[in-house]
Structure 1
Amino acid sequence: MSSPYTRARRKAARAPLASRLLTRARTPRARIAVTLSALATLALVGGAVAGATAAPPEAEVASVRGLEVLKGESSGETGDRAEPQTSRSGERPAPTPSAADVKKQKAAELKKQNAAKAAKAAQKRKAEKARIAKMQAKNPRKIARSMLADFGFGQRQFSCLNSLWVGESNWRWNADNPTSSAYGIPQSLPGSKMASAGKDWKANPATQIEWGLGYIKDAYGTPCSALSFKQGNGWY
């Protein structure tokens, strides 16, 4: 049978370490030091446990991120690190057009140019027709009066000119002599002579008058001299 001292030592050995340390500490200051040491030990143990329990979630997060990267690569969305995709069609050279295609293209361009020229010519003819119609609507005598000074004739010559051309055509721009090829206000013989004054000589009274005044000046000097000649010969 053991002694009381032996039983007391066995009981103390079974007590917790913290209790044994506090029992050995005889002063308050020693007890405080023992308590702080025990807390520090518990903190170290708790940190180790926390680290051990936190490691698996980190690995799990890493694995999830790896899955996201793989998913992004499979869908073609690789983020900023993705290399630019080059279209294979952009690397292919343009096909060389065949001779038939070139010929067809030239024909289409030529057709387009001809259509533009035709439209421009039609617009010009329309404008010319409108100008001539406006001139035909004017009194031809007023046109002649406005041109006298251009040929060096005074206004007193108009009365002779009026008498001369009343007898020839009565101032009609489309007067056509049935017995000859004389035509227009001045009765040019043939009428095509008036083309020297303008290509619109068939319909424009101003062109006919311009030609007629030039002819009178070159052949007779003045309208009165031309009228005097006609009165003596029946023509001028």
Structure 2
Amino acid sequence: MNQKKLIVANWKSNPNDLASAVKLAKAIDEKNVVIAPPFPFLPAVYKQLKKSALGAQDLFWADGPYTGEVSAEDLKILKVKYVIIGHSERRKNLKETDEMINLKLGAALKSGLKAVLCVGESVATRKKGIKEAKKFVKKQLVADLKSLKTNSYKLQTNLIVAYEPIWAISTEKGSKPDTPEDAVEMIKFIKGILYSKFHILNPKVLYGGSVTAKNARSFLERKEINGALVGGASLLPLEFRKVINVII
């Protein structure tokens, strides 16, 4: 694994207090790692980071009278370098559409943030077979990246895609483990779309289907997979350290 892999720690709405967030950040701070805590913890977590980059879990596409929203420029003030966009939980629970995600991507890239775009098929779609799953993911990608300048340096260098097979996520009802072979097949397909449709010369695609200390090596040793988007395991310092050790 001579190519640098990236690990993105998505803490979601965890931990429950600031002291725990600070302690966790200190414990998992490492190079080639992005730590994305809840918004209120961003400043305190940033102060603890010596090697990791700071990430956010969402943004809004504009400044102005948008109650409760946080813009790309707001995130930059807080020293954020990466932002997760279009996570399956937001698509499902908050009814985020591809049109909204497209606007968020545009704002993130314009501001110079590195955008981690999440795409992936549901349990129901996957049950229809790999052909339908690929069709669904392609539709997401095309809609999410619509009208973005394909020759833009920022799109070429600052876009990262995270393949998030919802059917393999442990918090989803009816979930089942993915295999490295299936993950590689879909990631190669995604890279093909990014290259052929959007002329991204060196697309980077992470895997985000419940990566743990037990399965991290089997996924991250594959050259087609450029890293991982990690949820629950990133809240457990000892387990997350084992994930990180795979890429060091």
**Structure 2 length-normalised TM:** 0.18
Greater strand content: 2
Higher-Rg member (1/2): 1
Greater helix content: 1
